[in-house]
Amino acid sequence: MSFRALPPALAAYFALLCALTGACLGSFINCWALRCVSGQRFPRGRSRCPRCGHTLGVFDLIPLVSWLCLRGRCRYCGGPVSPRYPVTEALSALALLAVGVTRGLTLRALELALMLPPLLLLALVDWDTMELPNGPMLLLAGLFLLFLPAHPAPLTRLWQGAAAGAAVFALMLALSLVMDKLLGRESLGGGDLKLMAVLALFTGPAGVVLMLLAASVLGLCTMALLRARGRAFPFGPALCAAGFLTALWGQPVLSWYLSLFR
């Protein structure tokens, strides 16, 4: 059922539910990413303040609300709490809200919603460690295969996605080898190449160009932000965001672009 077909009150409730679920998901994945960085495979035990070690209560863990009410400080030690918590929660809420509003209650919406946790985890772990773990990428590839029968032309989607993935991997590998020679350092990591190939499964051959364009723009923004702080630049977050946006809005953007030439 599409979002527009819902009665207004139900549509508002559904939108609110999407945003709240997205915010909670962002909070959980953020916690998972931080545990991953410290060597845990899955978050276990109660959340604690990374500064004072105090166990956090329910009211310290309400997505967005706790951070805003406590003005970005720990309730127990008064130390600053990173803005990455509200930023991740807000972005995740917006992403799931966009999925709900554009796709309604459909299998396509469920596929896009399930893409969100592995993409968030990849983006956050790459942000912290400059490395992209294989597990979430395998999960994304599995998701692509799982939802394949739900698409109108599954075989076409399969070969187009596989062709786009193989082509983008080969092209970007060749380009990165040339860039490595010219720059005298690694330009694109192996993880970035694998992530591009996995995301190309979802975008297909036409969407992959759009994804790379969006990733380049978002990557330049991230680079400018991190340069100012003297930090190294991970490409994963920009790629994850571009892949998700292309899977969500790639088709209408491409249709609009092609209509300009008719």
| Nearest to Zn ion of 53, 230 (CB atom) | 53
Cα–Cα distances (Å) from 119 to 26, 92, 98, 138, 240, in that order, read 11, 10, 16, 11, 6
The answer to whether residue 217 forms part of the interface with Zn ion (CB under 5 A) is: no
* Pick 57 or 142: Cβ nearer Zn ion: 57
For residues 160 and 153, give the distance between their C-alpha atoms in angstroms, rounded to a whole number: 11
CA separation for the pair 216, 56 (Å, rounded): 38
Angstrom distances, CA of residue 146 to CA of 71, 116, 157, 165, 202? 42, 15, 12, 17, 12
- Which residue's structure tokens are 């409730």? 13
Distance CA 203, CA 200 (A): 5
Q: Is 76 in the site for Zn ion (CB under 5 A)?
A: yes
What is the closest distance, in whole angstroms, from the C-beta atom of residue 59 to Zn ion in the complex?
14
Kindly give, in sequence order, each residue whose CB lies less than 8 Å from that of residue 128, ignoring residues fewer than 6 positions away: 33, 34, 37
Q: By three-state DSSP, how is residue 91 classified? A: helix
Applying CB under 5 A, which of residues 68, 77, 107, 138 lies at the interface with Zn ion? 77
> Which residue, 81 or 122, is less far from Zn ion as judged by CB?
81
Min separation Cβ 184 and Zn ion, Å: 43
> Which listed range, 72-80, 136-144, 212-220, 230-238, lies at the site for Zn ion (CB under 5 A)?
72-80
- 74 binds Zn ion, rule: CB under 5 A: yes
Q: Rule CB under 5 A: say whether 51 interacts with Zn ion.
A: yes
- Provide the minimum distance between the beta carbon of 56 and Zn ion in the complex, in angstroms, as a whole number: 9
Applying CB under 5 A, does 169 fall inside the site for Zn ion?
A: no
The window from 76-84, 113-121, 168-176, 210-218 that contacts Zn ion (CB under 5 A) reads 76-84
Q: Nearest approach, Cβ of 23 to Zn ion (angstroms)? A: 22
CB-CB contact of 141 with 198 (8 Å): yes
Does 52 participate in binding Zn ion (rule CB under 5 A)?
A: yes
HSE-CB at 166 with a 13 A cutoff on CA atoms is: 6
Judged by CB under 5 A, the stretch of 47-55, 58-66, 166-174, 220-228 that binds Zn ion is 47-55
The least CB distance from residue 49 to Zn ion, in Å, is 3
Going by C-alpha positions, the residue among 195, 223, 38, 40 that lies closest to residue 132 is 195
Interaction between residue 61 and Zn ion (CB under 5 A): no
Cα(75)–Cα(200) distance, rounded to whole angstroms?
44
* 49 is an interface residue for Zn ion by CB under 5 A: yes
Give the binding range for Zn ion (CB under 5 A) out of 43-51, 61-69, 102-110, 242-250: 43-51
Residue 69 in contact with Zn ion, rule: CB under 5 A: no
What is the residue whose two structure tokens read 């969100």? 116
Least CB distance to Zn ion at residue 88 (A) = 19
Chain positions contacting Zn ion, by CB under 5 A: 49, 51-52, 74, 76-77
